[in-house]
């Protein structure tokens, strides 16, 4: 894992989720939650970009969602269950239900539009 990804947990205090149980506990809490699925930072240069962009998005949306980093050990199962194959990706949940995803790096305006749309999406029971 790259320094930029590690600092999300070590400096910003975001949970680092290594198994399905940790992920379920995080996404089933009240509110909206974003799982950052980094992929291989050595092979995919976009991973570090998203690791820098996501804290800025979180700050811009002022507490409308919290974030966690998915560890390598839990990545494949999560991508399969979420149906999100490309990395890096941001997968959004509201009270345990997936409400959207943004794979790969996007420009700022696209992030803003997609996240506003995702946040307006009700959770499906």
Enter the pTM of the model: 0.95
Burial 15-49 (b: 16+ CB within 10 A, else e): bbbeeeebbeebbeeeebbbbbbbbebeebebbbe
Domains and CATH numbers, the chain: 3-106 (3.40.30.10)
User: What number is the average pLDDT over the span 24-39?
Assistant: 97
Q: What angle do CA 33, 18, 114 make, to 5 degrees?
A: 30
Q: What pLDDT is recorded for position 125?
A: 58
- Amino acid 65: pLDDT: 98
Residue 122 has a pLDDT of 79
Kindly state the percentage of the chain with pLDDT values over 90.
90
Question: Taking 90 as the threshold, does the pLDDT of residue 123 lie above it?
Answer: no
State the sign of the Cα–Cα–Cα–Cα dihedral 46, 113, 79, 75: positive
Question: Tell me: the pLDDT tens digits for 76-120?
Answer: 999 999 999 999 999 999 999 999 999 999 999 999 999 999 999
């Amino acid at each position: 894992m790259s320094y930029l990804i590690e600092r999300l947990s070590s400096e910003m205090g975001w949970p680092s989720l290594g198994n399905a149980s940790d992920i379920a506990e995080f996404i089933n809490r009240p509110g909206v939650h974003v799982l950052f699925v980094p992929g291989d930072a050595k092979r995919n240069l976009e991973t570090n970009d998203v690791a820098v962009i996501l804290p800025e998005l979180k700050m811009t949306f002022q507490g409308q969602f919290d974030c966690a980093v998915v560890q390598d050990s839990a990545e494949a199962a999560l991508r399969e269950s979420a149906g999100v194959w490309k990395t890096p990706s941001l997968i959004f949940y509201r009270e345990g239900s997936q409400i959207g995803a943004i794979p790969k790096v996007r420009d700022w305006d696209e992030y803003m539009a997609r996240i506003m749309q995702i946040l307006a999406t009700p959770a499906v029971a």
